[in-house]
Chains A and B, each alone.
Chain A
Amino acid sequence: MGMNIENYRTEGFFDEMFSGDSVPREASDLLIKRLEDLSSEEIHFRQQAAEAALYQMGITFAVYGSEAAEEKIFPFDIIPRIVDGADWRPIEDGLKQRVTALNMFIDDIYHDQRILKEKVIPPELILSCAAFRPECVGVDPPNKVWCHISGVDLIRDGKGVFHVLEDNLRSPSGVSYVLENREVLKHTFPRVFGPSKVRPVEDYPNQLLHMLEELAPPMVDEPSVAVLTPGVYNSAYFEHSFLAKQMGVRLVEGRDLITQDGFVYARTTRGFEKIDVIYRRIDDDFLDPLAFRPDSMLGVPGIMESYRQGKVALANAPGCGVADDKAVYAYVPQIIRFYLDQEPIIPNVPTYVCWDDKDRRYVLEHIEELVVKAVNESGGYGMIIGPHATASERASFVEKIKANPRNYIGQPVLSLSRAPIIAGDRIEGRHVDLRPYILFGKDIYVLPGGLTRVALKKGSLVVNSSQGGGSKDTWVVDR
């Protein structure tokens, strides 16, 4: 007896894999048929095998407060989320359009500030942005690219229309899960994977290395590239190590590096060796105690000066967070029109910027129906979902907004699309989002698919792993 999908209900949500109750979309047909062939015991066995593989690979996080130093894997559901290749094209085009415009915006902000002079965006909004770095004014990063790696969060609404939710231009994480999930799923569904014509993701590390090498200062023949991590206690450490290994480059910590005569050197067993390009996974704030936070133990004193002199390349460029502020996000459609003279291909989620008097009034009056977020936070922190919050939580956000309006935005609660997960001996729909990864070098590369995050708790809209979210492999399939 195979898995029964007869009782699968979309319950009025847009479903990624079913066009109606128990009716698979064309791109998902093969996989759903396979699920029907497998007994629920077999499916559970495969789920367990996949989890065991992830556990043995050590893709785990420590459960704090547990005496025995218990470790868990990030929850993972073996049913892939399938995206029709035809639906993927506009996403790819839209993402390229978006990062192109955002890079032009960042470069403009640190040079002529044309967009501010022409009053497309209020100058006070930008200059008050915590991630705006006066130290970066006038800097010319290689190829005029500031944001080399981004992970734009997309959600799909009740009608199936994709929207950008966040841009994540600083240190987006999660791409290692995309690659590892794929590795595991090939073992889980070998007979579906082959004929499904899934676009490969395995090229990402090559693309990343290639892009990083392009950044090397001129005259450097064989650039020495390193990934800079805050260290083993960082929650994304696995990813830092994974990417370094996949690219065959060094993984370094701040304490491994020094600067001398403007160059950056690593301490090695054979003395000091020059480093030309650094993929840094440390926030601007902690990057250089001489330039930013003086108490940072993670950074490299003097590295900003080396960067300004063009003796080392940094990805992403310091200062690029200015375009990642959630209040600035609200203006991305205007940014795209201003620099590219095009209409945005992927729309924004409607956003109320509390800095603006009219918007703020609206947010305060409708707080019980809105999502309110702090402009500089991520990972599900510094936010409330109005309809799910208690009266006192809402009241505390009202106070926070009044005290510091620049720091908050409001957005309507969206009805996120759903995708099926294994729930006991059946499949059930859960809400998902999608984070594709974009590399911006001399060309733009969009990783086909990306990380699908899923709110495993029934009815939940929060997909963050810190709050009960899990992940799925994402298949972009060509038919």
Chain B
Amino acid sequence: MRRAMISRVADSVYWMSRYIERAENVARFVDVNQYLTLDLQVDEELQWNPMLEVSGDRAAFEAQYGGSDQESVIRFLAFDSQNPNSILSSLRSARDNARSVREVISSEAWRQINKMYHMVRSAADSGKVFEDPHSFLDEVKEGCHQVTGVTEATMSHDEAWHFLRLGRMLERADKTSRLLDVKYFLLLPSMDYVGTPYDKIQWAAVLKSASALEMYRKTYRRIDPKQIGRFLIFDNQFPRSIRFCLEAASISLHAISGSPLSTFDNKAERRLGRLCADIDFSDIEEVSQTGMHQYLDGIQIKLNRVGDAIFETYFSLAPAIVDGALHRGDS
């Protein structure tokens, strides 16, 4: 039988992966948004405020920067080390976690994360990024994809790898739900835009923010807000739809415990299984009735509870329960 992982190590592998995914998402959001500003003749602030809502850091930003002009927002989201969700902070956390598990991940994976962290850190010191944000953000996105690719190609698909995928998929599901939620409400600077060419551009941007525009077109062709909601929540083939992410997370969770997909071995599997079933048994009509915001809010709360259950099940084996559980894994 394969060796189980040290709980602390599994925890770090999981978070390493979440932070990489987080960095990639922030880079993509910012990239799409700054591209969008080129098309839309609107107040800069109105265009950048939703960005801060997505990451949930608007209050922190305003306290520190005041006005949300493009350079301030990019600085805050990319380089601010006081902002725990900035690209730099995420990559630093990813790297700190990676460093504590170097014996478990492949050298190639470590090198890629290390290289990327140094790249972003030196970009933070040079002002060049503000001249050409796109090249920098693109490099971050590609770098993050390379981490995924490298772990896929150089690591055994063992427990560590499943913790990596579990972290990545839960983070991605969370980000897609936030993106959809925030954009749905705050995207349009004013109702006057509805039905105008700008409206189409905005919705296309939502899809781009999830790297979904091309794949969406292949399925639905025309830009339609309702279909976009359907695609990003329910599509079972697109790798950033909430459903797809949760199915993949569920497969990894079961691979870790070794229990079949249809059964439940622990609280984490039960909670995630229930969330997957919720999604399986609902559709976009139901979402419309409930209200998009309420629906997505519900998903986010349940995702957090899945995260808590994973922590309790795998990462926090406390000495207090030693007597009862000691011989569980000793074979």
Contacts and interface: CB of A to CB of B under 8 A. Distances in A.
Interface in B297-329: 314, 317, 319, 322, 325-329
Output the residue of A252, A255, A260, A269 with the most chain B CB within 10 A: A269
A241 B329 CA distance: 24
Given A271-B328, A272-B317, A272-B329, A241 B103 contact: yes
B118 A267 contact: no
15 contacts: A56-B118, A58-B111, A250-B9, A251-B6, A255-B8, A258-B319, A260-B326, A265-B330, A266-B6, A267-B317, A268-B5, A268-B7, A268-B329, A270-B4, A271-B330
A268 B4 contact: yes
A232 interface: yes
A438 to B, nearest CB: 24
A244 interface: yes
Contacts, number: 94
B7 A267 contact: yes
- Lowest 4 CB-CB distances: which A-B pairs, in order? A271-B329, A271-B328, A270-B4, A268-B4
Nearest to A251: B103
A253 B8 contact: yes
Give the interface size class of chain B.
35 or more
A270 B110 contact: no
Nearest to B99: A232
A67 to B, nearest CB: 10
Given A56-B115, A268-B329, A270-B328, A252 B96 contact: no
Nearest to A301: B319
Interface string B26-56: 0000000000000000000000000000000
Name A's interface SS.
Answer: mixed
Nearest to B92: A69
A245 B103 contact: yes
B134 interface: no
A274 interface: yes
Contacts of A260: 322, 326
A1 interface: no
A251 B6 CA distance: 9
A267 B326 contact: no
Nearest to A266: B6
A235 to B, nearest CB: 13
Interface residues of A, number: 31
B317 A271 contact: yes
Nearest to B8: A256
A273 B3 CA distance: 9
A111 B238 CA distance: 70
Nearest to A70: B121
Contacts of B114: 56-58
A269 B256 contact: yes
B253 to A, nearest CB: 11
B125 interface: yes
Contact of B96 (A55, A232, A251, A271): A232
A163 B121 CA distance: 46
B82 interface: no
Given A58-B99, A68-B121, A68-B125, A272 B322 contact: yes
A269 B159 contact: yes
B102 interface: yes
Interface of A: 55-58, 68-69, 224, 232, 237, 241-242, 244-245, 250-253, 255-256, 258, 260, 265-274
Contact of B327 (A232, A253, A272): A272
A321 to B, nearest CB: 27
A441 B53 CA distance: 61
Contacts of B73: none
B290 interface: no
Contacts of B96: 232
A250 B100 CA distance: 12
A252 to B, nearest CB: 6
Nearest to A241: B102
Contacts of B118: 55-56
B10 interface: yes
Interface in B1-33: 3-10
Interface of B: 3-10, 92, 96, 99-100, 102-104, 107, 110-111, 114-115, 118, 121, 125, 159, 256, 314, 317, 319, 322, 325-330
A267 B100 CA distance: 16
A245 B105 CA distance: 9
Contacts of A224: 3
Nearest to A260: B326
A244 B330 CA distance: 22
Contact of A56 (B111, B322, B326, B330): B111
B6 A256 contact: yes
Contacts of B325: 271-272
Given A245-B102, A245-B103, A267-B8, A273 B319 contact: no
B229 to A, nearest CB: 37
A256 B7 contact: yes
A187 to B, nearest CB: 14
Nearest to A57: B111
Given A258-B319, A273-B330, A252 B111 contact: no
A250 B102 CA distance: 11
Nearest to A248: B103
B8 A274 contact: no
A267 B6 contact: yes
Nearest to A257: B6
A55 B118 CA distance: 10
Contacts of A269: 4-5, 7, 10, 159, 256, 314
Given A58-B111, A267-B317, A274 B103 contact: no
A245 B96 CA distance: 17
Output the residue of A242, A265, A272 with the most chain B CB within 10 A: A272
Contacts of A58: 99, 102, 110-111, 114
A301 to B, nearest CB: 10
B330 A272 contact: yes
A418 to B, nearest CB: 34
Contacts of A267: 6-8, 317
A192 B325 CA distance: 58
A61 to B, nearest CB: 12
A245 B160 CA distance: 14
A253 B99 CA distance: 14
Contact of A244 (B7, B92, B103, B322): B103
Output the residue of B125, B159, B314, B322 with the most chain A CB within 10 A: B322
A134 to B, nearest CB: 29
Nearest to A227: B103
A256 to B, nearest CB: 5
B265 to A, nearest CB: 11
A254 to B, nearest CB: 11
